[in-house]
Amino acid sequence: MTTTNDVHLQFAGFFRNETLRPYAWLVSKKLSEGHICLKLDDLETDMEILPEYFSNAFRAPAALAEEPMVGHNPGDRKPFILYNNNLYLHKYFNYETRILNRIQKFRESEDLVLEERSLMLGRETEFLSTLFPPPVAGSLSAAMTDWQMVAAISAVLNNFTIITGGPGTGKTTTVARILALLYKTDPDLKVALAAPTGKAAARMAESLRSASFTAAPEIAAGFQKLEPLTIHRLLKYVPDSAYFKHHQDNPLRYDVIIVDESSMIDAALFAKLLDATGDNTRLILLGDKDQLASVEAGSLFGDLCQSQTSMNVFSRERAQLINSLISEPFRQLQEEHVGTLSQNPLFQHIIELKFSRRFSGEEGIGKFSKAVISNDRITIQSFIAKPDAQVTVDPEYSQIRFEEFIREYEDYIREQDILSALRKMNTIRVLCATREGNYGVFQLNRRIEKYLEQKRLIRLNAEFYENRPVMVTSNNYTVGLYNGDTGIVRSDEKGTVKVWFEDGDGKLKSVLPGYISQAETVFAMTIHKSQGSEFKKVLVMLPPEQDVEILTRELLYTGVTRARTFVLVQGQENVILKAAERHVKRASGLGLRLNLPNG
């Protein structure tokens, strides 16, 4: 039913032309669902959601060609752009075009320095071998292409590199070795580390600083200088606006920019990040193409990865160059990795790390998560029928299992040392698909609070009660807290109530509750909010209604892979199978335009 509260109808009402209004409604609706455009080739499906209000006025898409409010070229200043049979709001077509143009510019500018970089790598083959020692004989990775090494070499050669891979595939380890190689050749290298959230940025910096390889003092000094930033801080956000201080006319002054959790970046922010990156700056994007996309419109990381019909394919010339830097033949690129040179500017710029050192693909979390993302019903059902040491699926929502899991929250409350308590609190988490309802974040937090209160471990006598776990939900640059940071409430030695956090150096810092304007209890959190975090143990809570649209394979995969050692999934079999079946494919024109001669 359409009401005056329908924001899409209100938007369509701005346009007087009867032909345009239904399309304006559909474009607005699609944007709210995360799509960048309306695909006119798939209009039959979209017609099912169009309000009856428009049924008599609707005309075939061909009528849009004559609409004065519809442009057809990147330079047209019209509210809508019709391009490659996709209908965009001008703003989002502009974002997509800027992203495409910047990627092409990166590719063009790297051609000028490719020979110099190749020679530099040739001089460092011995150091490369030190950074990437041969795998242990007999290990699973001992007889396959070393994709970490291939990714590192590619990132040094390229101005723009995407490194994708699931949990434990070594994305951060690879970047640590890339930086070691670059710091060795230039100790004064200026490097920026960024991520969509402060939590993800800090975690990446911590992992890089503790990278397990022997480094010369000048290299170690470079790592110690690394400062994690949110993308907004990197670009220097102008408060209360949509603008940043760094942009195309005032680019960032870095030699290398590394961005983690790139799947979380929306179209607008992605375009602004690329605009602010200099032509000769190396930009390295890390992420997992199978994870949830951004909350706002766009699934840019996935679009870029999928723009190539197959990743890990190189021209024969590039493959020969890479192989000349890898001494062991079994670790080199094989014939199957050689393809015809493509006009797509991302050809040989996307590397997928395939071997997980954390999870086996034959059992446990690795096998279950792979089954979810590939919609392998038989394997999913085998886990439901027979749990293993890492994965338990509970279709009955057993209260006993639930309490066995949340009992571990008792450990941090009983721990006297605040830093130890904070670390124990962050080893487990309940992750929910939704915020509302009996199986959502709010109700789950109340259930856990009630359980702990009955155990007399907490007293719900104040908003910031003793031992309350807190997640900050907005950035506060004044006190150095960022969206996603988690802490616990404890009184100091003087009895003053404070919220305690662990900083990027592993030290405690405390903030008075009055400085935290937006925060939530975080015994349970949404799967969306958990991106960029990992826990030792995770409980994934799914609502029993299988028709909840947000229940997708990407959501379930993201929740399951937040766990390092154990995951309990409480959800009905039909809900889990339906989620694995439901694949998010956000509409955009980027993949197609990357493969066309003129975009």
Tell me, yes or no, whether 472 and 370 share the same domain. Answer: yes
pTM for the full predicted model:
0.89
- Any domain includes 462: yes
Beta bridge partners of 192: 257
- Any domain includes 410: yes
Q: Predicted confidence band at 547 (pLDDT cuts at 50, 70, 90)?
A: low
Evaluate if residue 139 carries a pLDDT over 60. Answer: no
Burial class of residue 423 in the structure, from the number of CB atoms within 10 Å of its CB (0-12 exposed, 13-18 middle, 19+ buried): middle
User: C-alpha angle with apex 468: 464 to 469, nearest 5 degrees?
Assistant: 120
125 versus 294: which is more confidently predicted?
125
Sign of the CA dihedral 104, 108, 109, 114? Answer: positive
Q: What is the pLDDT of residue 1?
A: 41
Q: Are 519 and 548 in contact (CB under 8 A)?
A: no
Q: Is 494 annotated as a binding residue?
A: no
- Any domain includes 92: no
For residue 566, what are the domain limits? 364-581
Tell me, yes or no, whether 430 and 331 share the same domain. Answer: no
Which of 340, 356, 372 is the endpoint of a domain?
356
Tell me, yes or no, whether 530 and 403 share the same domain. Answer: yes
As a whole number, mean pLDDT of residues 519-531 equals: 93
Distance CA 530, CA 481 (A): 17
- The arrangement of strands across the sheet holding 160-165 comes to 228-230, 191-195, 256-259, 282-287, 160-165, 350-353
Q: Predicted confidence band at 5 (pLDDT cuts at 50, 70, 90)?
A: low
Distance CA 591, CA 173 (A): 29
- Any domain includes 398: yes
Tell me, yes or no, whether 75 and 102 share the same domain. Answer: no
Tell me, yes or no, whether 118 and 35 share the same domain. Answer: no
- Count: domains in the chain: 3
As a whole number, mean pLDDT of residues 222-244 equals: 86
* CA atoms in the 13 A half-sphere facing the CB of 317: 7
Give the torsion through C-alpha atoms of 518, 520, 522, 528, to 10 deg: -70
Q: Is 434 annotated as a binding residue?
A: no
Distance CA 229, CA 235 (A): 9
Range name among 96-105, 124-133, 369-378 with the lowest pLDDT average: 124-133
Q: Is 167 annotated as a binding residue?
A: yes
- Any domain includes 586: no
Tell me, yes or no, whether 421 and 510 share the same domain. Answer: yes
Q: Which amino acid is at 298?
A: G
User: C-alpha angle with apex 439: 438 to 445, nearest 5 degrees?
Assistant: 85
Evaluate if residue 214 carries a pLDDT over 70. Answer: no
Sign of the CA dihedral 506, 507, 508, 511? Answer: negative
Give the torsion through C-alpha atoms of 46, 50, 55, 58, to 10 deg: -50
Q: What is the mean pLDDT of the chain?
A: 88
As a whole number, mean pLDDT of residues 538-558 equals: 89
Q: Are 538 and 560 in contact (CB under 8 A)?
A: yes
Phi first, then psi: give them for residue 386, nearest 5 degrees: -145, 100
Which of 337, 356, 375 is the endpoint of a domain?
356
- Any domain includes 2: no
- Any domain includes 595: no
Range name among 7-16, 178-187, 345-354, 382-391 with the lowest pLDDT average: 7-16
H or E stretch at 168: none
- Any domain includes 401: yes
Q: What is the pLDDT of residue 212?
A: 52
Q: What is the pLDDT of residue 571?
A: 94
Tell me, yes or no, whether 533 and 457 share the same domain. Answer: yes
As a whole number, mean pLDDT of residues 379-388 equals: 92
CATH of the domain at 253: 3.40.50.300
Q: Which of 43-47, 445-449, 533-537 has the highest mean pLDDT?
A: 445-449
Query: In whole angstroms, how far apart are CA 332 and each of 12, 125, 144, 477, 564?
Result: 56, 14, 8, 46, 30
Tell me, yes or no, whether 433 and 576 share the same domain. Answer: yes
Buried b / exposed e over 402-422, threshold 16 CB at 10 Å, is beebbeebeebbebeebeebb
Q: Is 169 annotated as a binding residue?
A: yes
Q: Is 450 annotated as a binding residue?
A: no
H or E stretch at 578: helix 573-581
Q: Is 79 annotated as a binding residue?
A: no
Evaluate if residue 211 carries a pLDDT over 80. Answer: no
Q: What is the pLDDT of residue 546?
A: 67
Tell me, yes or no, whether 409 and 498 share the same domain. Answer: yes
Q: Is 170 annotated as a binding residue?
A: yes
Tell me, yes or no, whether 229 and 268 share the same domain. Answer: yes
Tell me, yes or no, whether 500 and 551 share the same domain. Answer: yes
Tell me, yes or no, whether 247 and 186 share the same domain. Answer: yes
Q: Is 165 annotated as a binding residue?
A: yes
